[in-house]
């Protein structure tokens, strides 16, 4: 919402400076977004008198002027053809910034073709204050030397732009702004009850209300014999200043009252009206050719204005082309009605029309303002356009709203910590337009008709707090929490924090990527259900909630590579979505590596591969106090993994906690990512909760004094036999004493028949209590061999 | 000069003259080996008369011991020299680059979440969480957004396709629905903060369709707006880690608070970066207010018994302000160069007592 300072002063008597007014606006909650003070921009420029203008000795086009300025007599070389002795000009001193040229004059005098110039004479264009083409500004009027140029150019009225919050539609009129600023201490409100204009004949246009729920009140009047030309200068200047292009007297007056009183009106060319005007709901198939030149399909929920020719306007939103006023209009019918906010908002959304009327009606126009607004318009039309005014016709009545609120004065201190004296409270509330019925502690307040945001005591407290100013409220630190301090991070949160640190410490960069992705990608990664499709995505490729973070990371790694990164290791700890219910969100850690071989003087190191991804996942699980051995490793269950180089980790038959290994080459191709890409995705939410220990004391360290014994075995088995199976069988051969089984060789090739492989393990036997004799160790070794060979169908390698 | 003295002189001379360990060992064997000269003399003791033995015993023992010691001493010398010589040949160029271990970094937004949690944790706030996909009740209605009201429209909400008989689900437009979830589930006193992802359908130089907020909620019996001010001023002082943060509160409108306030901090612009705690421009950093009685009632809390305040802040922008990232867009691009530059080392864990950053 924009207004000018002088416009505000129509209704606010104040000696406050612009800065002070802005401070009061801020205090009262009118958040100033911009102030354009044309005078401030032109502060350097003043009126000067040209005493003499001689031809430059060495340049045909230059003149050497002797100028009487605020800084004394100056010699200024000027290129303007219109420079002449006796003219009143605008002087820029040395060093001044010229806004229209976007440069500053040198601070020291410059010589132009050998003649010193001690300043500049400016055009209004150079001041961004006009479009004179004849050369420098040649001002009319008797301006004294030193007068600010802004004053001489009539550019002294600052334009203030501020944010109107949705709860305060009364701020959409300058009048309402003045009332609020007066109550906040910015001056005295100049209440300006609108004059009643007497009509000289009955309004011949009949008004019918067929949908009172949509339009409960409609006032109108006719003016005959109007001269609809340009509106007066002051009106054009005000509209122009706030960015509204003047059109014609009748249109400008309705726009003006909309900005001045937050009261939208509509002007119809009465000669083009056919029969009575009806406010009703739209009918199937109806259309409106609106004044914006577009045609709109109307719905049965919309409030339309119609006459015998059909629909001629969308109530509270936009008028129609067929009855719009033109320069030739002589008879005008003015509509001043009230339209239901929610219905107007729905109509606005459905049609996409953005208009000042819609903006005001959907936030709430003062329903008591129909007649006043109409009279204001009639008075202005009569004054500037002449004509004969009819009496006002009023159909329906303003909606009655709950206008009485109980206010407990103690709520002010209870909610804000601020003590305000009753007399002060009364003064403030009265200035805001509240009626006060004082019943001791409880007051009953009559809420003014222009306020839609006051329903209860707390709403009054806000009025008081903002008028007093939040600076005046006490400032107190929070008291220590009741019952002492507790651990404020849950186990799951602590786990996510730890996971992130582990991944970063292992060389991974943390990413935060969109929660949505293209539906086609989501489908590749096991998602894509319609329930998780965003109906109005910001971009068509961000239309599906992600079932996995992996595609985002793989694409990021490829993008990094294309930009010149080498191997990228990247992870993200964040949500994935299995459904749209509140419990369908999972917190996962996903990590990927797109390996790039690095050369090194000591020889290349082993490239990152599926086993490296497994190592990272297992290191992470270990750090999270989740011993990897408690999980089973099985074939992958998600389609986006390489079928032979990936696996899932399971906890029991049902819970899958992670997948790891190589991503499926076909999926990578569809993502436009050059493979191979390795990684894992761990569902943190599925990890078993670590039980809180009853005591912080650790159990006593149990350790044998006896040296462990290590024995090597090699088995030849079918190549399909999993190493984990051999480890499990070897460990199970003597559960108590075998404390470790390590695979140290896997071999296929010469000496081993095709389809078979050799796996060599080192078994650690930890004696307990007493030393093991050779025959005891041999017995354990025999059990290991028997367990593995019978369990796998393999044989001990000779 | 007796025999033994001559032998000693000769042996010690040979030991001193041994140039390497092999030569020294040859001397040792020649004198002290099984068939060595001194060993041979020692063997003659057995055949001597007691008187002779009395005299020669100590002499020969002394001889043997001194020669043995000399061998040991020379051996140590030669080993030392040999090690020095060997080490001279074992040089490597220590200026060669070692193998590079990749450097990981944490994302600034996630770090700032933890900084904020550390500060509020110190004031007794617990961290609460809620779903990103919300229903209309939690995101809007319970928070006193009237249906169809323009206040909903400013949120640029992402919707899912409507299901039969229910308002469409939405991507939460703020972290405030978690206030509702917590109040529905838990009785006061309540002190929580809610970090999380939020979504609005807006994408330009200063907006991204997904961003991060931290919500705060305090519901107790005697909490008023002065506490709101104090708590948030305490927060910004600690967060920006500068002594002289200047803040102000202004009235604003949020449907779920009454009275409502926005908080600004003073800043100045130095080149591309912003300095908090200096200058004379104001920048809005968060919205706040006393929890609206309607919201308390919607959550089953009696507004005549309990009251409190709520606040919400944009974390991406707080991170920009504190750490000087000039642009919001690279936040979500997983850009390696950006993350390495603006990211945090893995073991930098923010705490109030140990320092946030």
Tell me the pLDDT tens digit for each residue of A408-446: 999 999 999 999 999 999 999 999 999 999 877 789 999
Domain annotation covers residue B95: no
Q: How do residues A556-592 score in pLDDT, each as one tens digit?
A: 999 999 999 989 999 999 999 999 999 999 999 999 9
Nearest to B104 among A362, A488, A505 (CB): A505
For the question of an ipTM over 0.90, the answer is no
Number of structural domains chain B divides into: 2
Nearest to B258 among A459, A478, A556 (CB): A459
A165 touches chain B (CB under 8 A): yes
| pLDDT band of B1, cuts 50, 70, 90 | very low
CA distance B84 to chain A (A): 26
For B335, the closest chain A residue by CA position comes to: A560
Percentage of residues in chain B having pLDDT higher than 90: 66
Tell me: do B45 and B165 sit in the same domain: no
Q: Is the pLDDT of residue B205 over 90?
A: no
Q: What is the pLDDT of residue B6?
A: 87
Tell me: do B19 and B144 sit in the same domain: no
pTM for the structure as a whole: 0.85
Instruction: Tell me which chain A residues have a C-beta less than 8 angstroms from the C-beta of B101.
Output: 507
Domain annotation covers residue B33: yes
Q: Are A49 and A216 in contact, with CB atoms under 8 Å apart? A: no
Tell me: do B129 and B17 sit in the same domain: no
Say yes or no for a CB contact (<8 Å) between A461 and B259. Answer: yes
Tell me the Ramachandran region of residue A9: left when phi exceeds 0, alpha when psi lies from -120 to 50, beta otherwise.
alpha
| pLDDT band of A132, cuts 50, 70, 90 | low
B206 exposure class (CB count in 10 Å sphere: 0-12, 13-18, 19+): exposed
For B262, the closest chain A residue by CA position comes to: A29
Instruction: Tell me which chain A residues have a C-beta less than 8 angstroms from the C-beta of B109.
Output: 512
Say yes or no for a CB contact (<8 Å) between B131 and A470. Answer: no
Say yes or no for a CB contact (<8 Å) between A585 and B131. Answer: yes
Q: What is the pLDDT of residue A402?
A: 64
Say yes or no for a CB contact (<8 Å) between A507 and B163. Answer: no
CA distance B329 to chain A (A): 11
Q: What is the pLDDT of residue A133?
A: 62
d(CA B231, CA A478): 6
Domain annotation covers residue B31: yes
Say yes or no for a CB contact (<8 Å) between B158 and A534. Answer: yes
Say yes or no for a CB contact (<8 Å) between B158 and A598. Answer: no
What CATH number corresponds to the domain at position B190?
Answer: 3.30.930.10
Say yes or no for a CB contact (<8 Å) between A510 and B224. Answer: no
Say yes or no for a CB contact (<8 Å) between B347 and A505. Answer: yes
Give the H or E element holding residue A503. Answer: helix A491-505
d(CA B31, CA B42): 11
Show the domains of chain A with their CATH numbers: 2-37+158-189 (3.30.56.10), 40-152 (2.40.50.140), 207-396 (3.50.40.10), 404-465 (3.30.56.10), 491-686 (3.30.930.10), 709-796 (3.30.70.380)
Domain annotation covers residue B78: yes
| Residue that finishes a domain, picked among B36, B61, B89 | B89
On average, the pLDDT of chain A sits at: 92
Instruction: Tell me which chain A residues have a C-beta less than 8 angstroms from the C-beta of B201.
Output: 536, 538
**The residue to which tokens 């470790």 are assigned:** A740
> Which of A499, A512, A576 would best serve as a mutation to test chain B binding (most B beta carbons within 10 A)?
A512
| Residue that finishes a domain, picked among B58, B89, B120 | B89
d(CA B283, CA A86): 50
| Residue that finishes a domain, picked among B37, B60, B89 | B89
Q: Which of A454-463, B48-57, B63-72 has the lowest mean pLDDT?
A: B48-57
Q: How do residues A178-233 score in pLDDT, each as one tens digit?
A: 999 999 999 999 998 777 788 999 999 999 999 999 999 999 999 999 999 999 98
**Which token pair is A273?**
């009206």
Tell me: do B85 and B113 sit in the same domain: no
DSSP A170: G
Nearest in space to A315 (alpha carbons), one of A292, A293, A294, A288:
A288
For A507, the closest chain B residue by CA position comes to: B104
Say yes or no for a CB contact (<8 Å) between A26 and B250. Answer: yes
Instruction: Tell me which chain B residues have a C-beta less than 8 angstroms from the C-beta of A513.
Output: 332, 334
Q: What residue spans of A529-664 are helical by DSSP H?
A: 550-562, 610-623
- For range A483-489, the mean pLDDT: 71
d(CA A620, CA A655): 18
Q: How do residues A38-71 score in pLDDT, each as one tens digit?
A: 788 888 999 999 999 888 888 888 889 999 999 9
Tell me: do B255 and B318 sit in the same domain: yes
In which domain, by residue range, is B52 found?
3-89
Percentage of residues in chain B having pLDDT higher than 70: 99
Tell me: do B290 and B197 sit in the same domain: yes
DSSP per residue over B50-68, as a string? HHHHHHHHHHHHHHHHHHH
Q: What is the pLDDT of residue B2?
A: 63
Q: What are phi and psi of B160, to 5 degrees?
A: -100, 170
Tell me: do B305 and B204 sit in the same domain: yes
DSSP A360: H
The residues near A72 (Cβ < 8 Å, ≥ 6 apart) are: none
Q: How do residues B273-307 score in pLDDT, each as one tens digit?
A: 778 888 888 999 999 999 999 999 999 999 999 99
Q: How do residues A490-534 score in pLDDT, each as one tens digit?
A: 888 889 999 999 999 999 999 999 999 999 999 999 999 999 999
Domain annotation covers residue B143: yes
Nearest to B229 among A28, A473, A573 (CB): A473
For B129, the closest chain A residue by CA position comes to: A493
Q: Is the pLDDT of residue B10 over 60?
A: yes
**Which token pair is A380?**
């202005």
Domain annotation covers residue B214: yes
Give the H or E element holding residue B327. Answer: none
d(CA B216, CA B193): 4
Q: Are A650 and A634 in contact, with CB atoms under 8 Å apart? A: yes
Tell me: do B126 and B75 sit in the same domain: no
A513 touches chain B (CB under 8 A): yes
Nearest in space to A616 (alpha carbons), one of A698, A736, A506, A468:
A506
Tell me: do B195 and B318 sit in the same domain: yes
CA distance B82 to chain A (A): 29
Say yes or no for a CB contact (<8 Å) between A477 and B107. Answer: no
On average, the pLDDT of chain B sits at: 91
Domain annotation covers residue B151: yes
**Which token pair is A247?**
């059109």
Domain annotation covers residue B348: no
**Which token pair is B88?**
């001279």
A602 touches chain B (CB under 8 A): yes
Tell me: do B43 and B124 sit in the same domain: no
CA distance A627 to chain B (A): 22
Tell me: do B58 and B123 sit in the same domain: no
The residues near A700 (Cβ < 8 Å, ≥ 6 apart) are: none
Q: Is the pLDDT of residue A98 over 60?
A: yes
Tell me: do B48 and B179 sit in the same domain: no
Say yes or no for a CB contact (<8 Å) between B259 and A466. Answer: yes
Q: Are A181 and A32 in contact, with CB atoms under 8 Å apart? A: no
The residues near A537 (Cβ < 8 Å, ≥ 6 apart) are: A516, A543, B158
For A566, the closest chain B residue by CA position comes to: B336
Largest Cα–Cα distance of chain A, in whole Å?
129
A485 touches chain B (CB under 8 A): yes
d(CA A486, CA A476): 22
Q: Are A526 and A548 in contact, with CB atoms under 8 Å apart? A: yes
Q: Are A109 and A94 in contact, with CB atoms under 8 Å apart? A: yes
Report how far Cα A190 is from the mean position of its chain's Cα atoms: 38
């Amino acid at each position: 919402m924009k207004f000018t300072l002088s416009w505000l002063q129509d209704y606010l008597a104040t000696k406050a400076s612009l800065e002070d007014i802005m401070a009061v606006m801020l205090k009262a909650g009118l958040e100033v977004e911009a102030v354009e003070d044309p005078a401030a921009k032109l502060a350097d420029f003043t009126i000067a008198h040209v005493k003499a203008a001689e031809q430059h000795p060495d340049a045909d086009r230059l003149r050497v002027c002797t100028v009487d300025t605020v800084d004394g007599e100056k010699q200024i070389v000027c290129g303007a053809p219109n420079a002449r002795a006796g003219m009143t000009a605008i002087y820029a001193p040395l060093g001044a910034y010229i806004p229209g040229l976007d440069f500053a004059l040198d601070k020291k005098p410059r010589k132009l073709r050998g003649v010193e110039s001690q300043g500049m004479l400016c055009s209004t264009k150079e001041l961004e204050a006009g479009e004179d083409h004849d050369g420098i500004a040649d001002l009319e009027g008797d301006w004294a030397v030193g007068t600010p140029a802004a004053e001489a150019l009539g550019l002294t009225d600052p334009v203030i732009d501020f944010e109107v919050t949705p709860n305060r539609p009364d701020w959409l009129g300058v009048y309402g702004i003045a009332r609020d600023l007066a109550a906040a201490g910015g001056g005295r409100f100049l209440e300006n009850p609108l004059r009643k204009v007497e009509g000289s004949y009955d309004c011949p246009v009949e008004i019918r209300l067929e949908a009172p729920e949509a339009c409960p009140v409609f006032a109108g009047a006719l003016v005959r014999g109007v001269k609809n030309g340009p509106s007066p200068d002051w009106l054009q200047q005000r509209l122009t200043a706030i960015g509204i292009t003047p059109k014609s007297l009748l249109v400008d007056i309705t726009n003006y009252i909309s900005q001045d009183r937050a009261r939208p009106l509509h002007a119809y060319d009465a000669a083009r009206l056919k029969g009575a005007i009806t406010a009703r709901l739209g009918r199937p198939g109806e259309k409106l050719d609106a004044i914006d030149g577009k045609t709109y399909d109307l719905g049965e929920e919309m409030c339309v204005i119609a006459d015998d020719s059909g629909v001629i306007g969308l109530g509270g939103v936009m008028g129609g082309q067929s009855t719009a006023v033109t320069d030739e209009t002589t008879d005008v019918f003015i509509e001043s009605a009230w339209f239901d906010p929610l219905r107007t908002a729905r109509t606005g959304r459905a049609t996409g029309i953005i208009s000042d009327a819609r903006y005001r009606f959907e936030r709430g126009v003062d329903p008591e303002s129909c007649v006043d607004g109409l009279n204001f318009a009639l008075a202005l039309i009569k004054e500037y356009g002449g004509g004969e005014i009819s009496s006002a016709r009023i159909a329906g009545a303003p909606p009655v709203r709950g206008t009485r609120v109980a206010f407990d004065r103690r709520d002010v201190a209870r909610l804000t910590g601020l003590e305000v004296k009753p007399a002060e409270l009364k003064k403030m509330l009265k200035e805001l337009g509240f009626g006060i019925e004082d019943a001791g502690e409880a007051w009953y307040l009559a809420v003014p008709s222009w306020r839609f945001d006051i329903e209860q005591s707390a709403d009054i407290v806000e009025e008081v707090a903002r008028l007093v100013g939040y600076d005046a409220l006490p400032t107190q630190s929070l008291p220590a929490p009741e019952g002492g301090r507790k651990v404020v991070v849950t186990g799951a949160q602590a786990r996510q924090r730890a996971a992130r640190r582990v991944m970063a410490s292992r060389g991974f960069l943390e990413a935060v990527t969109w929660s949505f992705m293209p539906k086609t990608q989501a489908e590749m990664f096991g998602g894509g259900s319609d329930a998780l499709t965003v109906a109005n995505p910001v971009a068509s490729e961000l239309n599906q909630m992600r079932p996995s973070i992996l595609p985002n990371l793989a694409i990021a790694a490829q993008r990094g590579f294309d930009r010149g990164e080498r191997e990228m290791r990247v992870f993200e700890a964040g949500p994935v979505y299995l459904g749209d219910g509140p419990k369908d969100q999972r917190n996962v850690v996903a990590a990927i590596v797109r390996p790039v071989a690095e050369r090194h003087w000591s020889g290349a190191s082993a490239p990152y591969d599926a086993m490296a991804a497994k190592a990272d996942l297992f290191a992470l699980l270990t750090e999270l106090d989740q011993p990897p051995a408690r999980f089973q490793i099985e074939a992958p269950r998600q389609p986006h993994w390489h079928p032979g180089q990936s696996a899932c980790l399971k906890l029991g038959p049902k819970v899958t906690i992670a997948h790891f290994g190589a991503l499926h080459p076909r999926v990578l191709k569809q993502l436009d990512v050059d493979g191979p890409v390795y990684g894992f995705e761990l569902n943190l939410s599925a990890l078993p909760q670590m039980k809180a220990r009853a005591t912080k004391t650790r159990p006593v360290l149990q350790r044998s004094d006896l040296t462990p014994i290590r024995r090597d075995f090699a088995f030849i088995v079918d190549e399909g036999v999993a190493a984990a199976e051999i480890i499990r069988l070897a460990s199970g051969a003597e559960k108590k004493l075998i404390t470790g089984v390590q695979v140290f060789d896997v071999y296929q090739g010469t000496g081993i028949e095709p389809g078979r492989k050799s796996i060599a393990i080192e078994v650690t036997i930890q004696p307990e209590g007493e030393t093991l004799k050779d025959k005891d160790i041999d017995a354990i070794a025999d059990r290991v061999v028997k367990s593995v060979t019978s369990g796998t169908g393999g044989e001990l390698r000779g | 000069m007796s025999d033994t003295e001559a032998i000693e002189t000769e042996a010690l001379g040979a030991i001193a003259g041994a140039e390497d360990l092999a030569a020294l060992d040859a001397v040792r064997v020649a004198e002290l080996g099984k068939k060595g000269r001194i060993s041979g003399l020692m063997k003659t003791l057995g055949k001597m008369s007691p008187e002779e033995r009395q005299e020669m015993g100590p002499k020969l023992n002394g001889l043997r011991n001194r020669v043995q010691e000399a061998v040991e001493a020379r051996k140590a010398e030669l080993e030392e020299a040999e090690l020095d010589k060997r080490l001279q040949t074992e040089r490597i160029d220590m200026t060669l680059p070692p193998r590079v271990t990749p450097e990981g970094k944490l994302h600034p937004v996630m770090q700032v979440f933890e900084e904020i949690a550390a500060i509020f944790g110190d004031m007794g706030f617990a961290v609460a969480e809620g779903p990103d996909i919300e229903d209309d009740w939690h995101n809007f209605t319970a928070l006193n957004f009237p249906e169809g009201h323009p206040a909903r429209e400013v949120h640029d909400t992402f919707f899912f396709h409507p299901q039969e008989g229910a308002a469409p689900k939405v991507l939460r437009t703020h972290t405030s629905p978690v206030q509702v979830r917590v109040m529905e589930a838990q009785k006061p006193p309540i002190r929580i903060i809610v970090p999380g992802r939020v979504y609005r359908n807006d994408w330009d130089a200063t907006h991204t369709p997904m961003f991060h907020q931290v919500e705060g909620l305090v519901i107790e019996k005697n909490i008023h707006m002065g506490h709101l001010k104090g708590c948030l001023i305490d927060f910004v002082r600690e967060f920006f880690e500068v002594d002289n943060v200047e803040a102000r509160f202004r009235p604003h409108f949020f449907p779920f608070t009454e009275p409502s306030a926005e908080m600004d901090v003073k800043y100045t612009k130095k080149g591309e970066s912003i300095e908090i705690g200096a200058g004379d421009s104001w920048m809005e950093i968060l919205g706040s207010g006393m929890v609206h009685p309607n919201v308390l009632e919607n959550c089953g809390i009696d507004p005549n018994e309990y009251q409190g305040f709520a606040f919400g802040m944009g974390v991406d922008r707080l991170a920009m302000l504190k750490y000087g990232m000039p642009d919001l867009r690279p936040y979500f691009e997983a850009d390696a160069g950006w993350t390495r530059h603006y990211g945090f080392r893995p073991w930098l864990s923010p705490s109030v007592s140990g320092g946030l950053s």
